Amino acid sequence: MNAPGARPKPLFPPATPVFQHFKSICVMSIVNLSAYKFVTIESGADWRPLIVDRCAALGLRGTILLAPEGINLFVAGEPEQIGTFMDYLRTDPLFEGKFADLQFKESVSETQPFGKMLVKLKREIITMKKPAIRPELGRAPSVGAATLKSWLDRGHDDEGRPVVMLDTRNAFEVDVGTFDQALDYRIAKFSEFPGVIEEHRADLEGKTVVSFCTGGIRCEKAAIHMKEVGIDHVYQLEGGILKYFEEVGGAHYHGECFVFDHRTALNAALEPAAIAQNSEDRTASATPGAPATEDDAADTADADDTDDTDEAHAAITAGGQASFPGPNHGRHE
């Protein structure tokens, strides 16, 4: 058991003999790995071909985004190869220790969810078009899953303020599932977020605002922006919805969590959800404007500066269509 306040141990630690244990107990054969870090990167163009070669040697698929502001990755492969890759990022001298503390999220699946391996150079790892916002220089306060659950159980935070959950994701993601009573401003891309906050800031005054997204990366910028425009009590959900599922399950959440790969959505047990296993759902996009393939995602914004569909870029990686359920699927009115 982890000590109070300690980070949970990864499901699949860096490559060591303990992998024989994981290989013996893991029924599913593919590990899905995600991570991000805001850190100054000046050598991305030099790193890119070396990372491509290492991923190819390990048989990994997915997408890695490199930008001057950091790294954002979604890759999948066999357990031992994933462990080797984690160790490579954390310890290889090439990266000058920048990823030594990189925190990974893992889940497992029966099949490879990605079609190929891409390493992309970007202007931002998650596009907000607010270059002055630099999470590397200081994060907004965060709240862990257990604390948030206790707040939602009580209906207020530790100081008695009402808690408002603010979904920073795209509308079609929200339609698959979200927190109970969450504010959803129906944005089509993350760069719209500052505008809707300006329009709706009265909804947030005098309350404790907890911003959340799939894995936490959007909220790194969203929470800073809200603090900068004068909203006083702002937190980001540490690790996003997926970490919340991992630590406390689906309490106060309805539906599933949309993911930009061929699993389509995960339930609170981090398993592919029923909608992802429905062949009709998997073959068509029912939400207008939602990217169904990597090329479609690129078309939603400038190809060299894709918007919040950077996450789509970082996860679909071709090989077939992902499904985007209809606009009322899983909605909480």
- CA Rg, the chain, in Å? 19
Instruction: Give the percent of the chain with pLDDT over 90.
Output: 69
- Mean pLDDT, range 314-320, rounded to an integer: 40
Query: What integer pLDDT is reported at residue 205 of this predicted model?
Result: 92
| pLDDT of 234 higher than 60 | yes
Cβ of 325: how many Cβ atoms within 10 Å?
A: 26
CA distance 322 to 306: 18
Range among 17-21, 145-149, 280-284, 303-307 with highest mean pLDDT value: 145-149
Whether the CB-CB separation of 229 and 198 falls below 8 Å is answered with yes
| pLDDT of 216 higher than 70 | yes
H-helix or E-strand containing 121?
strand 117-121
Given pLDDT bands bounded at 50, 70 and 90, which one contains residue 250? very high
| pLDDT of 179 higher than 50 | yes
HSE value, Cβ hemisphere, 13 Å, CA-based, for 75: 31
- Mean pLDDT, range 29-49, rounded to an integer: 96
- Mean pLDDT, range 227-233, rounded to an integer: 94
pLDDT in tens, 82-141: 999 999 999 999 999 999 999 998 888 999 999 999 999 999 999 999 999 999 999 999
What the block records as the tokens of 215 is 């894995």
* Better-scored residue on pLDDT, 107 or 7: 107
> Any idea what DSSP says for residue 192?
G
Query: What integer pLDDT is reported at residue 261 of this predicted model?
Result: 86
- Category of 158 on φ-ψ map: left (φ > 0), alpha (ψ -120 to 50) or beta: alpha
- Looking up tokens 């000058």 gives 96
CA distance 155 to 146: 14
Give the start-to-end residue ranges of the domains of the chain: 19-121, 135-254
| pLDDT of 10 higher than 80 | no
∠ CA 215-184-317, nearest 5°, is: 40
Helix 240-248 / helix 145-154 crossing angle, nearest 10 deg? 80
| pLDDT of 69 higher than 90 | yes
* Better-scored residue on pLDDT, 267 or 287: 267
| pLDDT of 1 higher than 80 | no
Query: What integer pLDDT is reported at residue 28 of this predicted model?
Result: 62
Terminal CA-to-CA distance of the chain, rounded, Å? 39
Same fold yes or no, 19-121 and 135-254: no
Given pLDDT bands bounded at 50, 70 and 90, which one contains residue 43? very high
Helix 44-58 / helix 79-91 crossing angle, nearest 10 deg? 160
- Residue 264 CA: distances (Å) to CA of 3, 32, 127, 219, 323: 34, 13, 22, 21, 6
Topology classification of domain 19-121 = Alpha-Beta Plaits (3.30.70)
Q: Which of 55, 213, 219, 257 is catalytic?
A: 213
What the block records as the tokens of 88 is 């490579």
Query: What integer pLDDT is reported at residue 263 of this predicted model?
Result: 86
* Better-scored residue on pLDDT, 321 or 13: 13
Query: Which among 291, 326, 324 has a CA at the least distance from the CA of 310?
Result: 291
Superfamily of domain 135-254: Rhodanese-like domain (3.40.250.10)
- Mean pLDDT lowest among 23-37, 119-133, 169-183: 23-37
Contacts 24+ apart (CB under 8 A), 51-54: 51/119, 52/117, 52/119, 54/85, 54/88
Known catalytic membership, residue 213: yes
The phi, psi pair for 237, rounded to 5°, reads: -75, 115
* Better-scored residue on pLDDT, 10 or 32: 32
| pLDDT of 210 higher than 70 | yes
- Strand bridging mode 117-121 / 177-179: unpaired
